[in-house]
Structure 1
Amino acid sequence: MYTREQASQLRQAFWTAFGQYIAPHPSAEGLRINWSNYKTGIKHVYFRMRAEKKTASIGIEITHPDPEIQELFYQQFLELKLYLHETLSEEWEWELHGTNEYGETITRIYKEISPVNIFNRDDWPTLISFFKPRIIALDEFWSDAQYSFDALK
């Protein structure tokens, strides 16, 4: 078992290693990008990568405090579902109005793997291999799809 500080240091070490590994890869538009902290440019719409003790996930999270507005974003993503799945080369889970670890209502489109453990360095190559192609594909999707959300900004 790790202390809170040790766990924090291991998480930080993993995300630093991931950032260094993927940094040479430019965005779909040819720009330098902070892959670990991807900015969609739309408030309340995030591309999130999470790694914990038993699972890892990557996804699109819609966190607007108004569930009806979350649903509008979700419906817009549904319009682009085929394109998203084609770009990702796989299907993801779609969850309207789930709950996050803080009890807030969020909407997610995500892919999860298990068993993986961020605290086990032997799992890091698996985690990096999971995250890298998917965040790059999300960026490729978003470089075209973001304009479909202009009316919802």
Structure 2
Amino acid sequence: MLNKEESKQARLEFWQRLTSKTRRLPGQKGRKRFWIFENTGIKGLDLRFDVDREKARVALEINSNNEDRRLMLFEKLEAAKSVFEAAFGEPLIWDFAYEKPTGESVCRVYVETPGDILNESLWPDMLFFLIDRMIKMEAAFLEVKDYMQANINE
């Protein structure tokens, strides 16, 4: 059992390893890989890594503070579900009322695998899962990005 400081250090090391691994992706030639979630071009829509003591997740998250906008974006994405999942290559979990540990309600489309951020022996599989699925999630998002951007402010 890790104490609070050891737990904090393990979490920090996990995220540092993930960052380090994303710098050496095929085709990057040593350049740092910047995930699209840094700027999807749609306000309130992000691609996220989420890792805790039970699971590792890769998610497309709609986190607009405006509930009507959040639900409108989710419905629009859901209308493109077949295209999105075909581009992703596997079924996804669609949740219009996902509650984050902070109590915040968001809409999420995600995939998950068992894992524990504090169990270093699980990290290699978790890191592979996160990177592989984020690449797929980005590709799926790019397939529907133009559709998602069209008429979102009307």
Fold in common (TM above 0.5): yes
Using structure 1 for the length normalisation, give the TM-score. Answer: 0.84
Paired AA for residue 66 in structure 1: N
Distance in 1, Cα, partners of 2:19 & 2:42: 22
Where does structure 2 lack aligned partners over 5 or more consecutive residues? none
Distance in 1 separating the partners of 2:135 and 2:25: 9
Between the aligned partners of 1:40 and 1:8, the Cα distance in structure 2 is 29
2:106 maps to: 106
- Residue deviations 1:47-73 (CA, integer Å, cap 9, x gap): 111111121111111111122211111
Tell me which residue corresponds to 1:120.
Answer: 119
Deviation for aligned residue 1:36:
9.4
Q: Superposition pairs for residues 136-147 of structure 1, below 5 Å?
A: 136-147=135-146
Secondary structure of the equivalent of 1:48?
strand
Secondary structure (helix, strand or coil) at the match of 1:152 reads coil
Runs of 4 or more consecutive aligned structure 1 residues displaced over 4 Å after TM superposition: none
Matched residues, number: 149
Q: Structure 2 CA distance, aligned partners of 1:58 and 1:131?
A: 6
Q: CA deviation at 1:75?
A: 1.2
Q: Tell me the amino acid that sits aligned with residue 112 of structure 1.
A: E
Percent of aligned positions that are identical? 21
Gaps of 5+ in 1: none
Asked whether the 8 Å contact 2:87–2:143 carries over to 1, the reply is no
